[in-house]
């Protein structure tokens, strides 16, 4: 197990209260881990032992035996890429493992080394100064792997579709200017015949189906291009890759539906009642946050963890524009997609909120506010086990009707009208 130096030492416990008797701090790298074990002695002094170990499975098993023999109850390490995962998976259940945000472990500049990092982590852990990141149970982690992989594959398929657009433009084929989806049923049939060698635009246009047949004259013009064998080869490769990615998405979705635990299934059914939320996005949301909202102190804490809470920047009593925290990028991306879909709904509270914020704050910030609103609603829905209840598109008008009245009167007067208001009995 020991691939480098090991040493023991003692130091006074200091004036900071020690919460845990025996702890370990890990400075994790790709091939090695620097480990510092701190043990509180009966006389109040702290015994330290430092070892450098490998990251192979055999090394980690020996590390586990050493920590068990030393009586280590708590272990802390930084969230470094994916290198923490083998260590966490092996020690999970043996002792309390804290995965800590690296930004929360900043030291005084100078004397930076692997040994000092491990010692600092162990010291902060023993004094209760570390806050653990949210690491869900193994079933939820596995569900996360599946939903995140599906998101990556969906992005790759979109890139392939964009490359198909690029090849068609290079071949003077303007199919995308007429058909909404060039990879739909009609568009795909045209592309297959185009790859097979058909050059007559009238023959290709006749492959249109349903509503697209109303655009036959435009299709004949759009499908008249200069397609070379080079273009046909590229299109064949791209369409085959697109089909392969589509099959992967189908298999991933089937696997997610298969391994989704019953509580998560119920949570998904609640979430899809929210505007803009489909089954896939609901599965991605519950895979990231789970069903137990007790792990988050409040909806505001959840929004901050997800990275959709407004930034906090105040100085001299004046609030300025703050940058939101990075948060969980997978959840934030899903919430942004949900907000974009919700902004296009009709007769909903979120649409009214978007219409209210977008003119004065911009569409991007308005979508961020919608993502925050919907995550807050999801928190309460999952905490109470209820469906979504829409506040209605007239919520803001009912919230402060006098203010809305003054706003419209001011607008009419600015247009040169004289406004006289007469109350109507309800």
Q: Tokens 């007067």 identify what position?
A: 413
Residue 70 has a pLDDT of 92
The 3-class SS string of 357-424 reads HHHHHCHHHHHHHHHHHHHHHHHHHHHHCCCCCCCCCCHHHHHCHHHHHHHHHHHHHHCCCCCCCCCC
Closest to 231 in 3D by CA, of 154, 304, 166, 185: 166
Residue 303 is inside which H or E element, if any? helix 299-306
pLDDT above 60 (res 1): no
Buried b (16+ CB within 10 A) or exposed e, 301-330: ebbbbbbbbbeeeeeeeeeeeeebbebbeb
Kindly report, residue by residue over 151-198, the tens digit of the pLDDT. 999 999 999 999 999 999 999 999 999 998 999 999 999 999 999 998
Contacts 24+ apart (CB under 8 A), 135-141: 135/88, 135/97, 135/99, 136/290, 138/89, 138/92, 139/259, 139/261, 140/287, 140/290
> What angle, rounded to 10 degrees, do the helices at 138-170 and 329-342 form?
60
**How far is the C-alpha of 64 from the C-alpha of 69, rounded, in Å?**
9
Q: Which of 122, 120, 116, 17 is nearest to 70 (CA)?
A: 122
Contact in structure between 46 and 16 (CB atoms under 8 Å): no
- Least confident range from 106-115, 183-192, 261-270, 393-402: namely 106-115
The torsion defined by the Cα of 191, 196, 197 and 199, in degrees rounded to 10, comes to: -30
Beta-bridge mates of residue 35: 26, 51
The tokens 């790298």 sit on which residue? 29
77-135 per-position pLDDT tens digit? 988 888 999 999 999 989 999 999 887 777 656 567 888 889 999 999 998 888 888 88
Strand-pairing partners, residue 95, are 92
Instruction: Report, as an integer, the average pLDDT of 395-423.
Output: 87
Between 322 and 275, residue with greater pLDDT: 275
Provide the pLDDT confidence category of residue 419 given band limits of 50, 70 and 90.
confident
Q: Tell me, what's the pLDDT at 4?
A: 47
Global pTM value: 0.84
CA angle 189, 166, 184 (to 5 degrees): 25
Give the pLDDT mean for 224-247. 95
Residues 412, 419 contacting (CB under 8 angstroms): yes
C-alpha closest to that of 323 among 338, 337, 312, 334: 312
Band of the pLDDT at 396, cuts 50, 70, 90?
Answer: confident
What is the mean pLDDT of the segment spanning 26-48? Answer: 91
Q: What is the pLDDT of residues 298-338, one digit of tens each?
A: 999 999 999 998 877 666 667 666 677 788 999 999 999 99
**Can you list the domains of the chain with their CATH numbers?**
2-126 (3.30.420.10), 139-259 (1.10.287), 262-384 (no CATH)
Q: What is the mean pLDDT of the chain?
A: 89
């Amino acid at each position: 197990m020991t691939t480098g130096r090991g040493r023991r030492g003692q130091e006074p416990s200091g004036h900071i209260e020690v919460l845990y008797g025996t702890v370990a701090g890990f400075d994790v790298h790709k091939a090695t881990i620097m480990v510092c074990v701190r043990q509180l002695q009966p006389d109040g002094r702290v015994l330290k032992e430092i070892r450098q170990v490998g990251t192979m499975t055999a090394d980690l098993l020996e590390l586990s035996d050493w920590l068990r023999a030393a009586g280590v109850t708590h272990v802390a390490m930084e969230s470094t890429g994916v290198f923490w995962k083998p260590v966490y998976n092996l020690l999970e259940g043996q002792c309390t493992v804290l995965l800590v945000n690296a930004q929360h472990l900043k030291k005084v500049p100078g004397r930076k080394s692997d040994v000092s990092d491990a010692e600092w982590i162990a010291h902060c852990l023993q004094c209760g100064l570390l806050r653990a990141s949210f690491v869900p149970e193994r079933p939820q982690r596995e569900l996360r792997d599946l939903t995140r992989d599906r998101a990556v594959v969906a992005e790759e398929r979109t890139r392939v579709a964009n490359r198909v657009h690029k090849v068609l433009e290079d071949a003077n084929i303007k199919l995308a200017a007429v058909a909404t989806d060039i990879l739909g049923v009609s568009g795909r049939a045209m592309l297959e015949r185009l790859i097979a060698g058909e050059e007559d635009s009238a023959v290709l246009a006749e492959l249109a189906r349903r509503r697209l047949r109303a655009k036959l004259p435009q299709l004949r013009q759009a499908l008249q291009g200069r397609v070379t064998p080079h273009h046909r080869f590229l299109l064949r490769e791209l369409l085959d890759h697109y089909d392969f990615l589509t099959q992967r998405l189908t298999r991933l979705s089937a696997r997610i539906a298969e391994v989704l635990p019953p509580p998560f299934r119920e949570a998904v059914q609640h979430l899809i009642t929210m505007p803009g939320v489909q089954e896939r996005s609901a599965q991605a949301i519950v895979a990231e946050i789970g069903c137990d909202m007790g792990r988050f102190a409040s909806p505001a804490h959840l929004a901050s963890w997800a990275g959709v809470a407004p930034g906090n920047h105040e100085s001299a009593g004046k609030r300025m524009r703050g940058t939101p925290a990075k948060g969980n990028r997978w959840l934030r991306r899903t919430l942004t997609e949900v907000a974009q879909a919700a902004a296009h709904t009709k007769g909903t509270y979120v649409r009214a909120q978007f219409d209210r914020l977008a003119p004065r704050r911009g569409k991007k910030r308005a979508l961020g506010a919608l993502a925050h609103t919907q995550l807050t609603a999801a928190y309460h829905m999952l905490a109470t086990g209820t469906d979504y209840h829409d506040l209605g598109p007239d919520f803001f008008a009912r919230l402060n009707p006098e203010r809305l009245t003054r706003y419209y009167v001011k607008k009419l007067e600015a247009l040169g009208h004289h406004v006289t208001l007469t109350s109507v009995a309800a």
